[in-house]
Amino acid sequence: MALSDKAKTALVLASIVAIFFFGIMLKYWILR
């Protein structure tokens, strides 16, 4: 299934959100 340009843009942005959200918690949970 081909994704539309809009869906691709949204997926990239949602990935950035996920990286920042989980990243900040993982950083201080695991890497302390």
Partner 1 sequence: MSAVVHDDHGHGDHHGDHAHHPSGVMRWISTTNHKDIGTLYLWFSGTMFLLGGVLALGIRAELFTPGLQVWNPEFFNQLTTMHGVIMVFGAIMPAFVGFANWQVPMMIGAPDMAFARLNNWSFWLLPFAASLLVISFFVPGGATGAGWTLYAPLTVQMGPGMDLAIFALHIMGASSIMGSINIITTILNMRAPGMTMMKMPLFVWSWLITAYLLIAVMPVLAGAVTMTLTDRHFGTSFFNAAGGGDPVMYQHIFWFFGHPEVYIMILPAFGIVSQILPAFARKPLFGYSSMVYATASIAILSFIVWAHHMFTVGMPAAGLLFFMYATVLIAVPTGVKVFNWLATMWKGSMTFETPMLWAIGFLFVFTMGGFTGLILAIMPVDIQLQDTYYVVAHFHYVLVAGSLFAIFGGVYFWLPKWSGRMYDEKLGKWHFWLSLVFFNVTFFPMHFLGLAGMPRRIPDYALQFADYNLLASIGAFGFGFSQLIFFYVVLKCTVFAQGAKAPANPWEGADTLEWTHLPSPAPYHSFETPPAVR
> Binding string to partner 1 for residues 11 to 30, with x set by CB under 8 A, is what?
--xx-xxx-xxxxxx--xx-
Among 1, 2, 3, 5, binds partner 1 (CB under 8 A): 5
Question: Which single residue is written with the structure tokens 């843009």?
Answer: 9
Q: Does 3 bind partner 1 (CB under 8 A)?
A: no
| DSSP states along 1-32 | -PPPHHHHHHHHHHHHHHHHHHHHHHHHHH--
Interacting residues toward partner 1 by CB under 8 A: 4-6, 9-10, 13-14, 16-18, 20-25, 28-29
